[in-house]
Amino acid sequence: MKLSSWIFFTCISFSALAQQTPNAIQRAQQRTFTVATIPQPGEVLTLQQAIAQSIEKNYQIQINRSQEDIARNNFTKGNAGYLPVLTFNGTSNGGIQNFRQTFIDNIRPPQEARGIFNRTSNLGVNLNYTVFNGYARSTLYNQLAQLVKIGTVNTRANVEATVASIATSYYDVVRQLQRLIAFSQALDISRERLELARANYEVGTRSKVDFLSAQVDYNTDSAALISQEQALRNAKTLLNSQLIRDPQAEFAVRDTIIVRPTLQLESLQQSLSTNNPLLAAAVLNRTIADLNVRLANAAQLPLVSATTGYNYQFQDNQGGFGVATGRTGALTYNITATIPIFNGYNLKRQIQNARVNTLIAQNQESNQRLQLQLALVQTYQAYQTSIRLLTLEVQNNQLANQNVDIAYDRYRIGNSTFVEFRDVQRNAIDAQTRLIEAEFNAKAAEIELLRLSSTITQELGQ
């Protein structure tokens, strides 16, 4: 009993040891880098750093901010016509004369003079003020305020679009890096298979076809890895250009793609209706169209303007005729009322066009709302589909990796052909690639949902 028990437990121990010893495929998988460990040149660039750099340097955002500054500078009472206009006028006319005069009555002797200087100067200050213009200036002042708001929401829209673009490009770099790691692991497995095929061929247990096929598959995986390295460089170049820096600048990423599966359509729709800057701009444009109707109607009402001024004139006449010197000061005023009666129905046409523009603005607002809601629903459906696919691909990837382990052991002991093993290996590569793509697609849909709901700067720009 003791001897049989010892033999039993010894066999169990050797069996457990054999199970713990990794095969060639497991060793290749263990050697494979992860996103956190793969060597990358350059300093680590986080998503928050990339977003901050893009918002600071993006040319379109700078243009929008400058346009916003212009709209804010235009928003003044003086630009709306509330303040008077004060002008100063000054003129001075003079000349040097030579004359010789004789008189008809012959009583006065002839007169002759040379180098006579005559001068007349006028100085004046005038004040012009619009007393009433059919409430047009209050409407214009309100319109200028709306233009400031439009500038603000346009800037916010470009900031949010930039954040979404940067986040998508950043995670594309992570995706391409993950694909590089997957292809690197596939190449390691092909290398292990090539070494096994070479050893078997040299000892005569496998044919040369096996060895050559392993070499071809190894070269194929090497070419795929080289192509993926180029894809990674392209993704980094694109992100560098969006950050307004040297396209060839090296940087490293350490993030992984983590998708939040908890976004709810109802809250996203509510946030879109309340906060989306594109929708807010459409609402403001409709408000401006309504104000243009009021401006057109104001042209039918009387225009009352007042002008006052003080003018000072002095003369200096050295010729000796008339006034030799004179000084005159005068305070003047003028009140003018203009009442439009008929101008070829142009006022009526302008009012009709303004009302049509109001209908256009209303339709544009409704269309913008519809398009944004449609984009949100479609993106949310894609998001949900990506979440389901991601869950499925995680399971497929685990099963495919286990299948590769089994297939390699079968191939090693001669129970399967190289064709069967290669098919299993391809399935594993495809499963891992689909998993990476599912992660990226779900993350891209999540980013777009955050942009449409106008919560992206709070979620990603921290």
At residue 308, the 3 state secondary structure works out as strand
Give the span between the Cα atoms of 233 and 248, in whole angstroms: 9
- How long is the chain? 462
Mean pLDDT of 276-305: 94
For residue 307, what are its two tokens? 């002008």
Give the span between the Cα atoms of 282 and 363, in whole angstroms: 10
- Assess whether pLDDT exceeds 70 at residue 222: yes
Give the span between the Cα atoms of 384 and 380, in whole angstroms: 6
Confidence label for 138 from pLDDT (cuts 50, 70 and 90): very high
pLDDT digits (tens, 9 = 90+) for 375-384: 999 999 999 9
CB 413 within 8 A of CB 134: no
Confidence label for 204 from pLDDT (cuts 50, 70 and 90): confident
For residue 132, what are its two tokens? 């009433």
- CA 116-121-126 angle, 5° bins: 170
DSSP 110: P
Mean pLDDT of 199-211: 80
Amino acid present at 426: R
Residues 74/78/79/80 CA torsion (nearest 10 deg): 120
Q: What is the pLDDT of residue 17?
A: 34
Q: What is the pLDDT of residue 321?
A: 58
For residue 133, what are its two tokens? 């213009």
For residue 200, what are its two tokens? 């078997």
User: Bridge partners of 236?
Assistant: none
More confident residue, 424 or 288: 288
Q: What is the pLDDT of residue 461?
A: 62
pLDDT digits (tens, 9 = 90+) for 347-382: 999 999 999 999 999 999 999 999 999 999 999 999
pTM, full prediction: 0.83
- Assess whether pLDDT exceeds 90 at residue 424: no
Q: Residues 6 or more apart from 407 whose CB is under 8 A from it?
A: 416, 420, 421, 424, 425
Tokens 């890096």 identify what position?
177
